[in-house]
């Protein structure tokens, strides 16, 4: 996590939180921020597809010219609107303490655009829902791009779930001693992002001795990086137990391995990673 903080801004209700969490991460990691705004590529106009075949040659030509003119106007407006959004959030980030803020507009689909610049990403910040789905009243609904982004990129992704920023003090790492979870611990240890947080490493399982041995390894790795560590073993249904622990211990952010496979696959396998993104009320740091 040594490169830029990339934050996806689209003007949705979560954009403030995306910007603020990215700003917080940039301060903690002493890293630059790049605010990214996507401009979608539109295909041929639906009106052209539906009606041009019914018109005379002259009528089709006139319609095509009008549709082309409208598309050009829409494109210019979208471009200018995006520039205004980026400037607004650049100022917001600078007001909240970011000193190195850049902006970037990209054309096309979000997943493809981020894949092209993946090498530049140290941490990606985006909202659980984007502008296209913000009218959806279902709190568990995920934005159309979120799951694809998390599955495609092999970089840490911080998902914001609410419109308000709360500066993290305590982070809970859901740990199961799998390869993906161990890599997650090592990622945290090598990142300045958690250096000032109280890091709770929590295992849920029935084998107390095995869990304590695994937690000892995680504790040693984090303490060697001067991270404040609390370890805990809990019993019960994994997701519910972790949520209860987070509530009982005033956790501000959850970290977990994304789309891995483990003995507690009900939490860490693909469909359950998605379920956690749907149901959690806390920012979720997904580690690959």
Q: What is the CATH number of the domain that holds 134?
A: 3.40.50.620
Which of 160, 181, 206 delimits the end of a domain?
A: 160
pLDDT digits (tens, 9 = 90+) for 244-270: 999 999 999 999 988 665 444 444 444
Do 30 and 120 lie in a common domain?
Answer: yes
Taking 50 as the threshold, does the pLDDT of residue 194 lie above it? yes
In a domain? residue 11 = yes
Taking 60 as the threshold, does the pLDDT of residue 235 lie above it? yes
In a domain? residue 165 = no
Q: What pLDDT sits at residue 44? A: 42
Do 145 and 56 lie in a common domain?
Answer: no
The length of the chain is: 288
Do 149 and 26 lie in a common domain?
Answer: yes
In a domain? residue 15 = yes
In a domain? residue 65 = yes
Total domains in the chain come to: 3
What average pLDDT score do residues 214-222 get? 97
Chain-centre distance for alpha carbon 136 = 19
Write out the two tokens for 211: 């869990």
Write out the two tokens for 112: 């493809």
Taking 80 as the threshold, does the pLDDT of residue 18 lie above it? yes
Up-side HSE of residue 38: CA atoms within 13 Å toward CB? 20
Structural domain harbouring 11: 4-41+77-160
| Residue 129, φ and ψ in degrees, nearest 5 | -130, 140
Indicate the average pLDDT of the chain: 84
In a domain? residue 154 = yes
Q: What pLDDT sits at residue 77? A: 84
Do 202 and 183 lie in a common domain?
Answer: yes
User: Of the candidates 173, 101, 160, which has an alpha carbon nearest to the alpha carbon of residue 130?
Assistant: 160
Taking 70 as the threshold, does the pLDDT of residue 185 lie above it? yes
Report DSSP letters for 72-113, one per residue: HHHHHHHHHHHHHHHHHHHHHHHHTT-S-EEEEEEES-HHHH
Rounded distance between C-alpha atoms, residue 156 and residue 190, angstroms: 13
pLDDT digits (tens, 9 = 90+) for 123-173: 999 998 766 555 555 454 566 688 888 888 999 999 999 999 999 999 999
Do 177 and 232 lie in a common domain?
Answer: yes
Percent of the chain with pLDDT strictly greater than 70: 82
Do 34 and 53 lie in a common domain?
Answer: no
């Amino acid at each position: 996590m040594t490169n830029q903080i990339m934050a996806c801004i689209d003007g949705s209700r979560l954009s403030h939180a995306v910007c603020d969490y990215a700003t917080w991460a940039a301060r903690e990691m002493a890293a630059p921020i790049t605010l990214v705004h996507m401009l979608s590529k539109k295909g041929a106009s639906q009106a052209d597809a539906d009606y041009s075949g019914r018109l005379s040659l002259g009528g089709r030509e006139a319609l095509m010219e009008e549709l082309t003119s409208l598309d050009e106007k829409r494109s210019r407006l979208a471009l200018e609107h995006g520039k205004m959004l980026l400037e607004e959030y650049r100022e917001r980030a600078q007001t909240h303490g970011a000193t190195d803020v850049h902006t970037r507009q990209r054309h096309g689909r979000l997943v493809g655009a981020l894949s092209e610049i993946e090498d530049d990403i140290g941490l990606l910040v985006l909202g659980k829902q984007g502008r296209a789905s913000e009218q959806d009243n279902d709190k568990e609904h995920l934005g159309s791009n979120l799951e694809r982004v998390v599955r495609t990129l092999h970089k840490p992704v911080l998902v914001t779930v609410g419109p308000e920023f709360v500066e993290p003090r305590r982070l809970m790492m859901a740990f199961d001693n799998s390869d993906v979870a161990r890599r997650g611990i090592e990622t945290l240890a090598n990142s300045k992002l958690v250096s000032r947080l109280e890091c709770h490493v929590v295992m849920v399982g029935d084998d107390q001795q095995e869990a304590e041995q695994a937690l000892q390894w995680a504790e040693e790795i984090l303490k060697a990086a001067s991270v404040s560590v609390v370890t805990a073993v809990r019993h019960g249904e994994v997701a519910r137990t972790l949520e209860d622990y987070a509530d009982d211990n005033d956790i501000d952010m959850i970290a977990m391995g994304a789309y891995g496979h483990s003995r507690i696959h009900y939490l860490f396998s693909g469909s359950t990673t998605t379920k956690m993104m749907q149901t959690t009320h806390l920012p979720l740091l997904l580690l690959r």
